[in-house]
Amino acid sequence: MLIAILIYEKLTALDAVGPYEALAHIPGAEVIMVAPREGAVITDTGNLALVAGGTTADIAAADALIVPGGEGNRVLLDDERLLGWIQRVHEHTRVTASVCTGALLLGAAGLLEGRRATTHWAYRDELPKYGATPVAERVVRDGKVVTAAGVSAGIELGLTVAAELFGEDAAKAAELGIEYDPKPPFGTGSPERAPAEIVEAVRELERG
C-alpha cells in the first residue's frame, strides 16, 4: 500500500512527520516522502532539512496522498505543474489528505470545491476561496478527501488514513505504538480555549 507525502521548501516538518510516523510502521505500508525536485528540502525554520525518498516525477499513482502545510506552499498555489500532479495522483487514490495549510494546495488543485474541510485555525477563512465550507474539527472527511487542522493534527490524520487503508485494528496498534495518549500541558491548543491576547499574538505571527 503506497502512501505518498508531498514535501517542499519551507514546509512545516511536523505536518509531514506526524502522519509519516503514524503510518510508516504498519506492516504493508510503504510511506514515501516525495518532493518536486531531488535533494534535501529545507523546512520553514531554515535549519532542519528532510530528504525525500523520491520526486513527484517518480510517483504517478498512490493509495493515499498526504499534503502537509507550511509557509512555503503559498508560492505553489499557482504552480500548475505541481497542481496537475496532485490532480492526477488524486484520481486514483483511496484517500487524498492534507494537514494544516496543506488544505490550501488541495483547494488550489480544485479538490475542495463543494466539500467540508479544515486547516490551521488561523487560515480557516481562506477555505471559502476554494469553494470549501470550513469546519472547526481536528479531522474532516468529505468523500475521499480528508483534511486536518493545524500541525499536530497530522498525527490524527495519519491514524485516520491508517484505519482507511489497513483497518481499524492496525490503526489502533499504530496509536499505541506512538503512545498517542496526549495530555496537553496548558490546554491552550485551540483558539476557542486560549486566552484572547495569546490568540491574537499567534494569529499575527501566522498571518503577518
Measured between alpha carbons, how far is 37 from 24 in angstroms, rounded to an integer? 22
Distance (Å, whole) CA 180 – CA 163: 15
Handedness of CA 143, 144, 145, 147 (dihedral sign): positive
Q: Does 28 bind its own copies (CB under 8 A)?
A: no
Nearest-angstrom CA–CA distance, 51 and 86: 20
Which listed range, 89-97, 103-111, 127-135, 173-181, lies at the site for its own copies (CB under 8 A)?
173-181
164 near its own copies (CB under 8 A): no
C-beta of residue 105 within 8 angstroms of C-beta of residue 81: no
Is 106 considered catalytic here? Answer: no
Using alpha carbons, select from 47, 39, 41 the residue that is nearest to residue 16.
41
3-state secondary structure of 4: strand
Nine-digit cell string for 101? 495549510
Nearest approach in angstroms of CB 114 to its own copies is: 25
**Which ranges in the chain belong to alpha helices (H)?**
13-24, 80-92, 102-108, 153-166, 168-177, 196-207
Q: Given the residues 52, 100, 112, 153, select the one marked as catalytic.
A: 100
183 φ/ψ angles, rounded to the nearest 5 degrees: -135, 85
Q: How far apart are CB 87 and its own copies at their closest, in Å?
A: 25
User: For its own copies, which residue of 31, 76, 105, 132 counts as binding (CB under 8 A)?
Assistant: 31
**Residue 150 interacts with its own copies (CB under 8 A): yes or no:** yes
Instruction: List binders of its own copies among 112-131 (CB under 8 A).
Output: 120-121
- Single residue of 45, 76, 82, 125 touching its own copies by CB under 8 A: 45
Q: Does 2 bind its own copies (CB under 8 A)?
A: no
Site for its own copies in 61-90 (CB under 8 A): none
Answer yes or no whether residue 33 interacts with its own copies by CB under 8 A: yes
Which residues of this protein are in contact with its own copies, per CB under 8 A?
Answer: 12-14, 17-18, 20-21, 24-25, 31-33, 40, 45, 47-51, 53, 100, 120-121, 138-139, 149-153, 155-156, 159-160, 163, 168-169, 171-173, 175-186, 188-191, 193-195, 198-199, 201-202, 205-206
Which residues are annotated as catalytic?
100
